[in-house]
Structure 1
Amino acid sequence: MADRQDETSNAQWLERRRAAVARGIGHSTTVFTERAENAELWDVEGKRYIDFAGGIAVLNTGHRHPKVMAAVKAQMERFTHTCFQVTLYDSYVELCERLNAMVPISGPVKSALFSTGAEATENAVKIARAATGRSGVIAFTGGFHGRTLVATAMTGKVAPYKKGFGASPAEVFHVPFPAPQFGVTAEDSLKHLRFLFKADIDPERVAAIVIEPVQGEGGFHMAPPELMSGLRRVCDEHGIVLVADEVQTGFGRTGKMFAMEHYDVEPDLMCVAKSLAGGFPLSGVVGRAALMDASEPGGLGGTYAGNPLACAAALAVLDVFEEEGLVERANALGARLKARLEALARSNTALPIAAIRGPGAMVAFDIVRQRGSDEPDAAATKHVVARATELGLILLSCGVNANTIRILTPLTAPDVIVDEGLDRLEAALQA
């Protein structure tokens, strides 16, 4: 504790970080957080920031929501860990029951809990393989599914996620994701999928097609309805499991509790994590019971998977969504963000921005070299993120061309805080 108190600046802590922490762990700012509340945080130097990152979409209910904190405190008084595979506990079962009842999947549904988004996507693949007896997996360019081995293979971006790590696991294939900026349509994607079946893998060998309904790291591009319905037809025709990776889109971010509710088709399995537990590490796979039961007992799980503190937090998070109307709040917040961004896009003093997009409060825009063009400006984007930090705004970039700014402010953020953050964003965008 004495060592911690001796350090009073971000720079001092950054020096210690460089000496102690592996270089491969990246960070978008050099801010060391001292405390946080809802949509605000303060660094070790006492500087206040508006949080438009939410721990990368983890804090839809904000930092330290009182109901979440109370639930975790109560659970800590009972026990902190037993491992669900050793002695069971009620909160794990109750959370699975609630998830089963709320996901947009008809018929009997079951869940399995884990700790991280990558664990969820890896286990979805395991479940699909166990259920189908097949091994092939198809994902999409620009997609992000985690940093573990199979999750990295499914991720559709080489740098930095695959660079230097050698060969990826076999039988993982990619189809172009449709987005106007890339000149790719839904029909192009489905056509490429048909080419894949002719050239590289028999569809009868494919266990799963994995897709983010709205790409996160890939740039907040929403899958067109015709792509999702086309994938459902392909999966039904060939007995393939359709997996929706809702790790970033889930729990109200898109203006629905789950992004798949924007479509008229159902997935077979869904991966959830991030905002499920309000900042505590928890993830899950939820899906058709027959698929979820395909694995042998002991084939799924993990020592910390479904930790009781995280389960207690998640149950409180789901209560907060109902009590505070956060799904409806996501739509109102998204409209507020987009209206301000549209005004900024017309400004002659700000850097040129384009392609304002995203359902609900999952909002993003691109920084381009010239107004009216779609030529990406990655250097300007990096500058905007750094300038925003200087101005007291935590902001994240993303996208395959590194020129997308994404906004992931907590859904609980008051309008006055959101507007203050947008003022700082406007200042950061000044040319």
Structure 2
Amino acid sequence: MHRIGVVGAGYVGLTTAACLAHLGHDVVCADVDEAKVERLRRNEVDLVEPGLAELLEQHEIEFTTVFPHEVDFLFVCVPTPAGEHGEADLTAVHDVVAQVREDTVLVLKSTVPVGTAQGIAHRPTVSNPEFLREGHAVEDFLRPQRVVVGSADREAARRVAALYGDVPVVLTDNTTAELIKYACNSFLAVKLSFVNTLAELCEQVGADIDGVTEGMRLDERIGAAFLRPGPGWGGSCLPKDTRALLTTARDQDVEFATLRAAVDTNDHQVRRIAQMIEGDRIGLLGLTFKAGTNDLRDSPALAIARLLVGEVSAYDPAISHDIDGITVVGTPEELADGRDVLVVLTEWPEFAELDWPALADRMTTPVLVDTRGVVPAAKVREAGFRLVSVGHPDGRH
């Protein structure tokens, strides 16, 4: 068992702290937000993440606002927000690095630009990027497809890898580990932008995107993941990481045209979906960037809402407060009252089971725009809705 410090009690830091405690380590988790620390001491978790609250209840973790100096390993899990030109703001990272003792193994889990670890010249640093899917973070940490650990100090890298137990490990250098993180997220962004454009083409030529992607996913060279069209990609990682990788490429005089096109395509997709939505009173089903989380960061749903003209309300199972001028209601039925159109923007599975006839009866003109492909088309039409579905011939206006 090791004494481990985690700095940052956000999504990554809290999951890291809880899972390392579950693996048998003595964990202290520090954050500058005093109110958040007090809530965590009372086992109050703000994040919607399956299994996380249970782990925090099962294991004793010390939550504090004091920097954890007396530790064997210090995991840096602080925010690295994107700057005006796409560059990552490393202020919080540098603040942490300046306080770490020399005999502590410094572990960079925050997503940082390529070359960051090399710039920390005064001490060995281990790059250990996170690959946690929101809604599956605990599962991904405890049963990872791989753990990437990079360092010029191979012994330090092996010690960090051993903290995870018997899992697949990629041992490499710092720069490669940093680039792996950006490469993975950027490739997924390219794949999503490709399928969203393919869905637009299906609408125009009369093809069915579900059939097209079924034929694609059975090809082992392509795979099944990230082939579902949607309103655009968002969240805490893909937008920020694509911008950061483009900035790195630009700084090295590398023209990354493929990734630039994926970002531009995503911007187009948000505008395209907004243009599909017509009505004076609009109800949005879903605001979070994906199902299974309460994360609104860079949510395409919010980006689309900002482009809409008219009165906009929303229902989301994980959101209870008004956002950006959008009135958030407590039930789908309340949302439907007097609406001209409902729009599915997040793929919450419960949306497939809604009482569609009852919703139609509450609306002035029962129109449903499904940007996620989650609603049962036959039942929705039978209930009296005019269905507009992304990637299908009837998606055309």
Give TM-score, length-normalised by structure 1.
Answer: 0.34
Q: Which has the larger radius of gyration?
A: 2
**Higher RCO (C-alpha 8 Å, min separation 6):** 1
